[in-house]
Copies of this chain bind each other. A is one copy, B any other.
Amino acid sequence: MKVGIVGASGYSGEVLVKLLLSHPRVTLAAVTSRQHAGKPLSAVIPALRGTAADTLKFSGSDPAELAARTDIDLWFLALPHGAAADFAKALLPTGRKVIDLSADFRVADLATYEKYYGQHHAPELLPQTRFVLPELTDPSWMQSIKLAAAPGCYPTSTLVPLAPLLEAGLVTREHIVVNSFSGVSGAGRKVEETYLYVERAESAKAYGLVKHRHLAEIEEQLSLAAGAKVVIQFNPHLAPMRRGIITTITVPAAPDATLDGVYAAWRAAYAGRPFVSILPSGETPDSAYVTGTNRVDISALHDARTGNFVLTSAVDNLVKGASGQAVQIMNLWCGFPETSGLV
């Protein structure tokens, strides 16, 4: 099977190239980049020197030309929000599978999307698309859609620990506080003063408080899990590290809910799933331990003094929070083993 990537010069694009080049079931046959067309991949991604990236070259990225390529069976879109929808318009009619790493199709409700992200470039495609977090989304998505929207790092690190508890009624829907601490690559390869080494090293700060755009998909998914509207406080922070994200969720326990109940709900939700590691209560996930893996590590505590559960999680924002998850989606969609190319 041959796959292509549209837009691979960002950090998650790089990781996607790496994963697909070593994937045992697919051949990476096309990688597009407006900026780098004509160069070999390893000239732009030096970490890939000495691999097939020395000969594979970036091609141009005209939507119509890509749509005309009959050799590609599946396209990954590793593009900024907005641009992804433009390519989806060209590619979906060809019948090829599309996996989108942007937020363009993560939100089913158009009004919600536009409130957070601005005008949608292709709302007419929404019915053919779906937010797919493999461990949580009903597997029927494989038959019913043309484009799978891979969740990003904040949604993944929040939904994996929290969604099953809302679904099982073990926690309240009110007073949920989600604090996340993200490595700098989470912002993408933005050449701005605030992302300079000297500015970010030895610095931690909150950002995007109250109105962070990924609230759109996080709350929509939490509400689906709870069967009722869920509104959360989401406090993202920037940490002086390259990769990784940790999330700490404070949520009041429902009456009679217990820590054993939390673990039972998790074990039920994630039985047999290779990429969720449930740690014993008291052991907290460490971002360093998931770096380079497609794993989510989760753990929980109960605080008898406050009546809250405290849930913690860690993911690599570029793997399970982006490209690894996209490959996992491909594996499931194409009938490959779920872990193909990911361990």
Residue numbers of A with Cβ under 8 A of B are 11, 22, 46-47, 49-51, 175, 177, 179, 181, 183-185, 189, 191-193, 195-207, 209-210, 231-233, 235, 237, 239-244, 246, 248, 250, 252, 274-275, 277, 284-293, 295, 297, 301-303, 305-306, 308, 310, 312, 314, 343
Contacts and interface: CB of A to CB of B under 8 A. Distances in A.
Given A179-B248, A301-B209, A203 B288 contact: yes
Contact of A49 (B46, B201, B239, B295): B295
A242 B11 contact: no
B179 A197 contact: no
Most buried by B among A175, A198, A232, A302: A198
Please state the number of chain copies in the assembly. 4
A46 B286 CA distance: 9
Contact of A198 (B189, B252, B310): B189
A47 B210 contact: no
Contacts of A246: 204-206, 237
A22 B93 CA distance: 39
Nearest to A296: B50
Nearest to A54: B277
A297 to B, nearest CB: 7
| The 5 nearest A-B residue pairs measured at CB | A203-B288, A197-B200, A46-B289, A205-B286, A179-B179
A231 to B, nearest CB: 5
A47 B289 contact: yes
B202 A202 contact: yes
B289 A181 contact: no
A301 B51 CA distance: 25
B235 A306 contact: no
Nearest to A236: B248
B292 A233 contact: no
A62 to B, nearest CB: 25
Nearest to A305: B231
Contacts of A198: 11, 184-185, 189, 195, 242
Contact of A287 (B203, B241, B285): B203
B277 A49 contact: yes
A175 B252 contact: yes
Contact of A201 (B237, B241, B275, B312): B241
Contact of A293 (B50, B241, B286, B290): B50
A244 B202 CA distance: 8
Given A181-B181, A195-B196, A285 B205 contact: yes
16 contacts: A11-B198, A47-B288, A49-B289, A175-B252, A177-B179, A177-B250, A183-B202, A195-B198, A199-B288, A201-B201, A202-B242, A204-B246, A205-B286, A205-B288, A206-B246, A240-B241
Contacts of A47: 288-293
A49 B233 CA distance: 29
B203 A184 contact: no
A292 B51 CA distance: 13
A197 B295 contact: no
A31 B183 CA distance: 33
